[in-house]
Amino acid sequence: MKNKLLGLCILVMSGTALAEEKVIYQYKKYEKFDLGDLEVKGQLIAPGDLSVRERDRRRFELDLYNRTDFDKNIKHDIQTLR
């Protein structure tokens, strides 16, 4: 039993040792960015110029004086007649 277990461990370890390979990393030595070629896809929602939008002012329109009749004058005329 012990022999079998030892043999299994040797087998796994040898597999691991065989799996480790040397990896070589290589980086770019030069990279160029063309900023003029950049494009952004989307919608322009901001206004082109600065302006103040007029707020809706509440306007109170006063009912100005107007004469619709002269009934009081008629009554006054009769009363001042006699």
Task: Name the residue nearer to other proteins (CB basis): 3 or 79.
Answer: 79
Report CA-CA distances (Å) from 26 to 1, 23, 30, 33, 50: 48, 10, 12, 20, 51
The residue ranges that bind other proteins (CB under 8 A) are 54, 57, 59-71, 73-75, 77-82
Least Å distance, CB 50 to other proteins, is: 16
Least Å distance, CB 67 to other proteins, is: 5
- Please give the DSSP secondary-structure letter assigned to residue 46: S
Collapse the DSSP code of 61 into the 3-class scheme (helix H, G, I; strand E, B; otherwise coil) and give the result. coil
Task: Name the residue nearer to other proteins (CB basis): 24 or 81.
Answer: 81
